[in-house]
Amino acid sequence: MNSLVILPVLLPFLIGAVLILLAKKHQAQRVITSLTVLSMLAASVILAVDVYQNGIATMEMGDWPAPFGIVFVADMFATMMVILSSIVGVVCLFFAFSTISTEREKFYFYPFYLFLLAGVNGAFLTGDLFNMFVFFEVMLLASYVLIVMGGTKYQLRESFKYVVINVFASMLFLIGVAYIYGALGTLNMADMAVRIEETGQTGILNVIAILLLIVFASKGALFPLYFWLPKSYYGPPSAIAALFGGLLTKVGIYAIIRLFTLVFNHDIGFTHNIILALAGFTMFFGVLGAVSQFDFKRILSYHIISQVGYMVMGLGIFTPLALAGAIYYIAHHIIVKSALFLFSGATESITGTTDLKKMGGILKTHPLLAWMFFITAVSLAGIPPLSGFFSKFPLILSGMQEGRYIITAVALLVGLLTLFSMLKIFIYAFWGEQKHTDEQAAKKIGPILLPIVPMVLLTIILGFAAEPIFSYSYGIAEELLEPSIYINSVLGE
Amino acid sequence: MEILMSITVGVLFMVATYLMLSRSIFRIVMGLVIISHGAHLLILTMGGLQNGMPPLLGQEAANYTDPLPQALILTAIVISFGLTAFVLVLAYRTYDAHKTDDLDQLRGTSDE
């Protein structure tokens, strides 16, 4: 029993509820929200250190013993994800301070921002499938509000589609929960794992596994369910797009990795080969979408799709090395992708557009922005010594070792195309003739850039300190591939 | 009893799918409402239906109604209530801004 486990969820949730009362005082909201996210970051780091030293921490709600009550489980994977979500939460918030309009601030921007973080952290930490559904809904409802906030025609139109698709996927989630309850008689994930081990993963359980895979694939933007993502992430302001692009799809990926390492791990030849095929298609079509676009934000949105493929590829290969690579990749991706979305916001605040054909010459007027973008972009493409290289390397290596040559070839090709489309952004937006006015060129963007600096530093650190970080992700992968550790710490011996 | 419920759930899913495949915004919202009802009934059915049994009263009860599906459904109903309210307002605002409820015209053009 460790009450610290609930803190990353409870903190943003309670403060967010209080902030609704202070809706009109946006200065007070700013101060309280930043204190909240900073203390959430501190709490998540303390929790992660505790879990790293003392093993998995659990908390049973209302002292009802698992599997009867709802249980919160903080293992190394969950705590790492909570740290990442807190980092993105802090950075995007400080970026929002200098870019978001006062109208949005007065229309409950901060409460919903905190509710979103509470939902994300809750989905990472919970050990109960139905509770995960609830936290998904908390997160999604907050995301619906944030994505439509501002109410332009474009936002309304695309948000409606986003909402409908997500509500439909949530209903499928609920149906999957019902089937699991009918088949296994429990919703506690550790208990589910125990019972599947007893009964064997028979036909009906494979069907349920694929149903839940469809649910999380549509939330995590896997092939062929990614079609909603690029358009809906284009609408909201960059601070929100960065938060979404960094976090939301990764919650779906987290759920896939959790379920297919802990619960549905007895018929790997069937489920994990499907996952591997999905990963290949996701990477390939995602990056083709990115290559064909000529808009800063759209290219980045399509890259979310192609990179989600890498994470799932690590799960599909299903060796400790591959899974460690996937986890490393999640860490790298969350940081780099949020940073790139924030850069798109920074360039938009200079040029007033995200269309690459209308941009140019930013390198001359704002060299710091350009070079910081360059570091992050080549990191995304996987150039050593940045984090992208060291996260792709174990994935490719394990693909070779396991003889999965097709997926490895696809992964390498996608890396090349990623580099191509990142350089396309750099060439069109930062090189060439200056297309923005001198007035725009004189704009000081120091306060906008400042929150992104830690992200750029983090991608450099994740690259140069690859050894300790890789061994940490290898530890996570070994823990994931040994489900008895998780089960024993939840249910007792 | 379970068979009857399964058929009901199936009909609800069928109606909901039909509504969601149509072009009108309002019908899609109705489809979402109906599919959520279907999912709730499915949870109830999956928990196993007992006729006239009390809820779990003690450890020695010979037969009882499983209380967990009802708790799950209550939570899910509250969530889908909030969602429905939000989606209805969003659908109205979308209609208001675009002056149409035909999704074919809300497709979006490639040049934006």
- How close does chain B come to A155, measured CA to CA in Å? 9
pLDDT one-digit tens code per residue, A458-491: 999 998 988 999 999 999 999 999 999 999 999 8
Residue B109 confidence class, pLDDT cut points 50, 70, 90: low
Contact A171, B33 (CB under 8 A): no
pLDDT one-digit tens code per residue, B26-44: 999 999 999 999 999 999 9
| pLDDT of residue A218 exceeding 90 | yes
- List the single residue in B with minimal CA-CA distance to A165: B32
Which residue matches tokens 């990142």?
Answer: A422
Helix or strand holding residue A437 (H, E): none
Confidence at residue A361, expressed as pLDDT on a 0 to 100 scale: 85
* Chain-chain contact of A156 with B47 (C-beta, under 8 angstroms): no
* Chain-chain contact of A171 with B35 (C-beta, under 8 angstroms): yes
Output A396 or A351, whichever has higher pLDDT.
Answer: A396
Residues 6 or more apart in contact with residue A488 via CB below 8 angstroms: none
Residue B110 confidence class, pLDDT cut points 50, 70, 90: low
Output A62 or A320, whichever has higher pLDDT.
Answer: A320
Distance separating alpha carbons of residues B91 and B112, to the nearest angstrom: 22
Any idea which fold B2-49+66-102 has?
Answer: Helix Hairpins (1.10.287)
Q: What is the DSSP letter of A267?
A: -
Instruction: For residue A277, count other CB atoms closer than 10 A to its CB.
Output: 14
- How close does chain A come to B58, measured CA to CA in Å? 15
3-state helix, strand, coil in chain B (%, to 5): 70, 5, 30
Contact B13, B38 (CB under 8 A): yes
Residue among A141, A157, A178 minimizing CB distance to B39: A178
Residue A493 confidence class, pLDDT cut points 50, 70, 90: low
Rounded to the nearest 10 degrees, the angle between the axes of helix B67-98 and helix B25-46 is 170
B88 in contact with A at a CB cutoff of 8 Å? no
Residues 6 or more apart in contact with residue A189 via CB below 8 angstroms: A127, A128, A129, A258, A259, A262, A263, A490
Residue A330 confidence class, pLDDT cut points 50, 70, 90: very high
Instruction: Return phi, psi of residue A66, to 5°.
Output: -65, 145
Mutation target vs B (from A181, A208, A293; most B CBs, 10 A cutoff): A181
Confidence at residue B103, expressed as pLDDT on a 0 to 100 scale: 84
A483 token code pair = 């489900």
Distance separating alpha carbons of residues A110 and A98, to the nearest angstrom: 14
Residue among B20, B93, B112 minimizing CB distance to A156: B93
Confidence at residue A1, expressed as pLDDT on a 0 to 100 scale: 62
Rounded to the nearest 10 degrees, the angle between the axes of helix A76-99 and helix A320-351 is 0
Helices (H), A55-148: 76-99, 102-106, 109-125, 129-148
Q: What is the mean pLDDT of chain A?
A: 91
Contact A112, A103 (CB under 8 A): no
What residues are paired with A126 via a beta bridge?
A: A72
A158 in contact with B at a CB cutoff of 8 Å? yes
Residue A45 confidence class, pLDDT cut points 50, 70, 90: very high
Distance separating alpha carbons of residues A48 and A54, to the nearest angstrom: 10
Output A106 or B75, whichever has higher pLDDT.
Answer: B75
Output B65 or A130, whichever has higher pLDDT.
Answer: A130
Three-state DSSP class for residue A316:
helix
| pLDDT of residue B111 exceeding 70 | no
Give me the residue spans of the domains in chain B: 2-49+66-102
Q: Which of A103-107, A179-183, B17-21 has the lowest mean pLDDT?
A: A103-107
Distance separating alpha carbons of residues A461 and A360, to the nearest angstrom: 30
B106 in contact with A at a CB cutoff of 8 Å? yes
Question: In 3D, which of A26, A28, A16, A20 has the Cα closest to residue A106?
Answer: A26
Distance separating alpha carbons of residues A355 and B15, to the nearest angstrom: 42
| pLDDT of residue A362 exceeding 90 | no
Quick one: CA dihedral B52, B56, B58, B59, positive or negative?
positive
- How close does chain A come to B80, measured CA to CA in Å? 9
* Chain-chain contact of A151 with B93 (C-beta, under 8 angstroms): yes
Contact B105, B94 (CB under 8 A): no
| pLDDT of residue A449 exceeding 80 | yes
Q: Which of A37-41, A44-48, A206-210, B108-112 has the lowest mean pLDDT?
A: B108-112
- How close does chain A come to B91, measured CA to CA in Å? 7
Question: In 3D, which of A310, A309, A339 has the Cα closest to residue A461?
Answer: A339
Helix or strand holding residue A74 (H, E): strand A71-74
Quote ipTM for the complex: 0.94
Give me the residue spans of the domains in chain A: 2-483
Contact A310, A283 (CB under 8 A): yes
| pLDDT of residue A49 exceeding 70 | yes
Residues 6 or more apart in contact with residue A187 via CB below 8 angstroms: A128, A129, A130, A177, A180, A181, B72
Length of chain B: 112
Which residue matches tokens 């030849």?
Answer: A269
User: Pairing state of beta strands A57-60 and A71-74?
Assistant: antiparallel
